[in-house]
Amino acid sequence: MKLVTFQQNHETAAGVLRGDGVVNLKAAGFQSVAEVIAAGTQGVARIAKWLSSAPAGALPEIVPLERVRLLAPIQPPRVFCVGLNYRDHAVESKMEIPKVPTIFLKLPTAVIGPGEPIRLPVNSQQVDYEAEFALVIGRGGFRIKPEEWRGHVFGYLILNDVSARDVQLATTQWTLGKSFPSFCPIGPAITTADEIADPHALQVQLSIGGVQLQNSNTRELIFRIPELIAYISSITPLQEGDIISTGTPAGVGLGQKPQRWLQPGETVTISISGLGQLSNPVLAE
């Protein structure tokens, strides 16, 4: 199931994607995607049953996607990111394969939805893209055992870890250089965990203007989901709605020869198998 947050006639609602349209979940008793996450797998099962067994006429219409505006599917309390977590990217960066995951945060105020513009700040000349596979925490927990990870993952989405390299690399602390407004596009939907049989076998691709710049697979991940959940939750309890973004593969602008930075007028498109496509135009601030 693919859950979205959408706006129609100035009203914001939770929906589920159906072909080229969206079904409003209000009649199923859900006002927001956060409420569905709170209801967990039982909530998802309730929606599936409602969709399949509602008598004709009781099911709300499928509204064509061109008549709604998709927003960020959730407003996460926190966004955890992993630095240097793909073997091919570590090799490209001539860095040693890390022994402990490098975790940093993106401020949740940077979150935007599909189609919303990435705004290039005036105080950076080196804004870069990072295609990432991310997960959404369902049931929270402290010191989660690696083998119990499936009980805590609600679903998956695409995340673009937009990074102002000059700001990010001016110090050893990356958070601010990755937290300008609009630097965290997410979406287009949250794909529930039951739809992705193996999250460690997904193709991750990014292109700009038809030119493919990143193309890898989550099988290249150095630290996989069980280890990331166990490690982060050994320090801070994970909360419902937290996002963990698993890192970016080779091919970022910083690693291109010559280096390339986002320009106004470009559109960044990321696709991940099973999760759809996340596109965002780039504008000057």
Give the interface with Zn ion as residue ranges (CB under 5 A).
Answer: 81, 130, 161, 248
Contacts (Cβ under 8 Å, ≥6 apart) of 82: 101, 102, 103, 223, 228, 244, 245, 246, 247
Pick between residue 30 and residue 80 the one whose CB is nearest to Zn ion. 80
What one-character-per-residue DSSP string does 77-143 give? S-EEEEES-BHHHHHHTT-PPPSS-EEEEE-GGGEE-TTPPEEEPTT-S-EE--EEEEEEE-S-BSS
Structure-token match 């049931």, residue found: 139
Pick between residue 28 and residue 206 the one whose CB is nearest to Zn ion. 206
- At 72, which amino acid appears? A
* Residue 12 token pair: 């914001």
Pick between residue 92 and residue 148 the one whose CB is nearest to Zn ion. 92
* Residue 42 token pair: 């039982």
Beta carbon of residue 215, minimum distance to Zn ion (angstroms, whole number): 16
Beta carbon of residue 247, minimum distance to Zn ion (angstroms, whole number): 5
* Residue 75 token pair: 């407003």
Q: HSE on the CB side for 200, CA within 13 Å?
A: 13
Pick between residue 47 and residue 162 the one whose CB is nearest to Zn ion. 162
CB 204 within 8 A of CB 133: yes
Beta carbon of residue 119, minimum distance to Zn ion (angstroms, whole number): 19
Phi, psi angle pair for 44, to nearest 5°: -65, -40
Pick between residue 16 and residue 131 the one whose CB is nearest to Zn ion. 131
Beta carbon of residue 245, minimum distance to Zn ion (angstroms, whole number): 6
Pick between residue 3 and residue 81 the one whose CB is nearest to Zn ion. 81
Beta carbon of residue 31, minimum distance to Zn ion (angstroms, whole number): 32
The number of angstroms, rounded, from the C-alpha of 73 to the middle of its chain's C-alpha atoms is: 9
Beta carbon of residue 266, minimum distance to Zn ion (angstroms, whole number): 19
